[in-house]
């Protein structure tokens, strides 16, 4: 069954690659295909390498270490008043810093969010302190999307761990109570750390977060309204086969480069046509449906929640060329499913 899920996802990639035959992209299609090949390696790798319990534990601890390292570095930037340099000189800052060695602040925020989900799974009081610090750092760098999706994924994870999710229409009262607890906890921790570290230099990012709800233009930018409208125009023009792999930037912005609508479904429809959405969603649905049946394994609960976070994140930020982390956790989830299935059979 896991092989069938893998086959559907790989079939989608093959169809995407075949669109090079009619792509309007002149050069960028080569870079995009290379990036998507890396996503395939990220998908398959965990299935081969994560075969024992200690492998999954090591994988989780590695992410926790990255979360700790990122939190310490960001806190250092904050206390020395240089956090804006990290944000606006990074790869994803929009300042044409594609050659920068500083990572995209949204990627760093996503790593810390995934680490927080792992701490909720492990239920260690000391790790809760670390997750609180990481939450504060997420607020500092203005990762608004990842923070919102972290709250949603945390609620889902807690419900899974308590075995309260059996169907979307059952246990609504429990879901409501858990949602309130999680939202209150995140808010309380955020204010606690904010008032505890007022000496730093992250005024612009804090103002940016606040202005999300005060400034209409900022609100539109947050929810990618302009990018989505442009994507819909491309889809209307090429509804059946799209513009081909890597052709979105040239059609939408007259630039043959790494430009995308910040939504994987819209990107798929724009470059492959509307029919491709069905294959993309079928692949994801098959993974969720298959692994959800084994939710008695707490690691599967964790990885389903992380995959939910990744998927929501890529509905607002990022494109297929950089979606290796999404496919990595699909591979991790399928690897855990196979491990749990063999464990149960033995």
- 8 Å CB contact between 121 and 298: yes
* pLDDT surpasses 60 at 202: no
**pLDDT per residue over 230-262, tens digit each?**
999 999 999 999 999 999 999 999 999 889 999
Please tell me which residue, 160 or 94, carries the higher pLDDT value: 160
Residue-level pLDDT at 297: 92
Per-residue confidence at 168, pLDDT binned at 50, 70, 90? very low
Cβ neighbours of residue 329 closer than 8 Å, sequence gap 6 or more: 303, 306, 307, 310
**Of 215, 199, 81, 75, whose CA–CA distance to 144 is shortest?**
215
Residue-level pLDDT at 123: 82
Please count the other Cβ atoms lying within 10 Å of the Cβ belonging to residue 104: 18
**pLDDT per residue over 292-304, tens digit each?**
988 889 999 999 9
Residue-level pLDDT at 86: 76
Instruction: Classify burial at 170, counting beta carbons within 10 Å of its beta carbon; exposed 0-12, middle 13-18, buried 19 or more.
Output: exposed
Mean pLDDT, range 266-291, rounded to an integer: 94
Radius of gyration of the chain (CA): 20
Mean pLDDT, range 116-127, rounded to an integer: 90
Please tell me which residue, 334 or 137, carries the higher pLDDT value: 334
Cβ neighbours of residue 1 closer than 8 Å, sequence gap 6 or more: 290
**Of 178, 106, 87, whose CA–CA distance to 149 is shortest?**
106
User: And the tokens for 69?
Assistant: 């390292």
Residue-level pLDDT at 140: 81
- Cα–Cα distance for residue pair 61/51, rounded to 1 Å: 16
Mean pLDDT, range 38-62, rounded to an integer: 95
User: And the tokens for 148?
Assistant: 């919102």
Query: Residue ranges of the alpha helices (H) in 91-141?
Result: 105-122, 125-140
* pLDDT surpasses 50 at 344: yes
Mean pLDDT, range 65-94, rounded to an integer: 80
Residue-level pLDDT at 170: 52
* pLDDT surpasses 60 at 213: no
Per-residue confidence at 145, pLDDT binned at 50, 70, 90? confident
* pLDDT surpasses 50 at 201: no
Please tell me which residue, 346 or 306, carries the higher pLDDT value: 306
Query: 49-53, 195-199, 313-317: which has the minimum mean pLDDT?
Result: 195-199
Query: Could you please report the per-residue DSSP string of 15-44?
Result: HHHHGGGT---SSHHHHHHHHHHHHHHHHH
- Cα–Cα distance for residue pair 44/40, rounded to 1 Å: 6
Whose structure tokens read 């995308």?
260
- 8 Å CB contact between 130 and 119: yes
């Amino acid at each position: 069954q896991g092989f069938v899920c893998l086959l559907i996802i790989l079939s989608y990639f093959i169809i995407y690659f075949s669109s090079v035959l009619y792509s309007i992209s002149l050069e960028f299609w080569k870079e995009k295909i290379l990036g998507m090949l890396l996503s395939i390696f990220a998908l398959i790798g965990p299935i081969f390498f994560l075969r024992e319990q200690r492998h999954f534990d090591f994988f989780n601890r590695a992410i926790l270490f990255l979360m700790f390292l990122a939190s310490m570095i960001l806190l250092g930037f904050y206390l020395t008043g240089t956090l804006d340099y990290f944000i606006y000189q990074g790869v994803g800052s929009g300042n044409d810093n594609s050659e920068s060695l500083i990572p995209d602040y949204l990627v760093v925020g996503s790593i810390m969010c995934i680490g927080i989900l792992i701490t909720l799974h492990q239920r260690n009081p000391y790790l809760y302190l670390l997750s609180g610090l990481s939450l504060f750092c997420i607020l500092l760098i203005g990762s608004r999307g990842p923070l919102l999706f972290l709250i949603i994924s945390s609620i889902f994870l807690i419900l899974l761990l308590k075995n309260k999710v059996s169907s979307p229409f059952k246990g609504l009262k429990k879901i409501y109570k858990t949602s309130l607890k999680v939202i209150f906890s995140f808010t309380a921790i955020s204010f606690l750390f904010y008032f505890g570290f007022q000496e730093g230099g992250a005024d612009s990012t804090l103002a940016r977060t606040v202005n999300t709800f005060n400034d209409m233009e900022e609100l539109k930018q947050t929810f990618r309204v302009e990018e989505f409208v442009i994507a819909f125009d491309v889809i209307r023009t090429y509804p059946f086969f799209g513009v081909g792999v890597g052709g979105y930037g040239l059609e939408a912005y007259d630039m043959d480069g790494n430009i995308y609508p910040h939504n994987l479904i819209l990107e798929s429809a724009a470059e492959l046509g509307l029919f491709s959405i069905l294959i993309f969603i079928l692949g994801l649905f098959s993974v969720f449906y298959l692994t959800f049946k084994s939710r008695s394994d707490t690691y599967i609960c964790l990885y389903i929640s992380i995959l939910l976070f990744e998927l929501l994140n890529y509905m607002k930020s990022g494109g297929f060329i950089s979606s290796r982390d999404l496919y990595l956790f699909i591979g991790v989830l399928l690897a855990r499913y196979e491990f749990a299935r063999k464990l149960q059979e033995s």
